[in-house]
Structure 1
C-alpha cells in the first residue's frame, strides 16, 4: 500500500513538473492586442437619453387610436442597440429602428395606443437595450372616456 502511494506521488509530481512549460511562449501577439482593445472598452456603454419619458394623450374617446413618437439621443460612447420593447398590454404597439444608434445620434420609438380601457390609463414600455442597466422605461397615459352604452333599451330612445 505504501509503495502504491509513493508511486502515485512520484507520478503526480512528474506530471506537474513536466507540464510546467513557459506559458508566455504560447500566447499570440495579435490575441494580446485584441484583448487589450476589449479591456480598454470595458465599462463603455451607450446612454439612452429621452426628450421625455412620459406622454399624456389627455382625454380621449374610447377605442380612439393614438400615436406618439418618443425621441432619444445616444449620449454614451458606444452604439446603442434596442433588442426589444415590452409593453404592459396588447393595446400598445411600439415600432423602432432596428439599426444601432451611434454615439451622438438620435432615434425614435413610435408608440401606437388603441384607446382601450376606462378612466385614467397608464401603460409602461420597457426597452431592452445594451445600456449599463440593460433596460429603459417610458410611459403613455390617457383619460379614456367610457364608451356610450349600446343596449336595445337605449337604441330606441
Structure 2
C-alpha cells in the first residue's frame, strides 16, 4: 500500500514539474529572435558592433539587471530603463578585434531578478597588413 501511494505521489510530482517547465518555455519573458550573430571575416584592429533586439513577451515590466560579456574584448551596451509589456529594446554588442583568429563570445543577460538568457557573437579576425599606412601625398596640397 505504501509503495503504491509513493508511486502515485512521485508520478504526480514528476508530471507537475514537467508541466511547469513546459509553461516556462512557452511564456518566455525575454524574446530574442536572434541569439547568435556571425560577423564573418573582419580586419584586425577594426572594432565591430551588432544590435540584438528583444521583446518583453509578458504582461509585467521587464528589468535588465545586468548584461555581462565573457571577456573584456566584448562590450555590451543597453538602456537601463524598464521595458514595458510587448515593447522592444536592444543590446548593442561590440567586439574590439585585436587578436587574430576565430572567436566566439557569449553575453549573458540577467533580468527580472533571477532569470538569464544568452546571446553570442562569432567570426574570424584576419591579420592586419604589415607596414605603416601609405603616405598621403594630398597633404601637401592642403598646406599650400
Same fold judged by TM-score > 0.5? yes
Q: Secondary structure at the match of 2:53?
A: strand
Please report how far the alpha carbon of residue 118 of structure 1 lies from its aligned counterpart in structure 2 after TM superposition. 2.4
Deviation by residue 1:115-150 (Cα, 9 ceiling, x = unmatched): 13222100100011117x611100001111134456
- Written as runs of structure 1 = structure 2, the 5 A alignment for 1:1-157 is 47-130=29-112, 134-148=115-129
Gap regions ≥5 residues in structure 1: 1-42, 151-157
Give, in whole Å, the separation in 2 of the partners of 1:46 and 1:148.
Answer: 46
CA displacement at 1:70 relative to structure 2:
0.4
**Structure (1 or 2) with the greater strand fraction:** 2
- Cα distance between partner residues in 2 of 1:130 and 1:116: 34
What is the DSSP-based 3-state SS (H/G/I as helix, E as strand, rest coil) of the residue aligned with 2:82?
Answer: coil
Q: Deviations over 1:73-92 (max 9, x none)?
A: 01112111111111111111
Task: Measure the CA separation in 1 of the matches of 2:105 and 2:98.
Answer: 11
TM-score by length of 1: 0.62
Check the 8 A contact 1:92/1:111 in 2, yes or no. Answer: yes
- The two structures, once aligned, show a CA RMSD in angstroms of 2.1
Query: Which residue is equivalent to 2:134?
Result: none
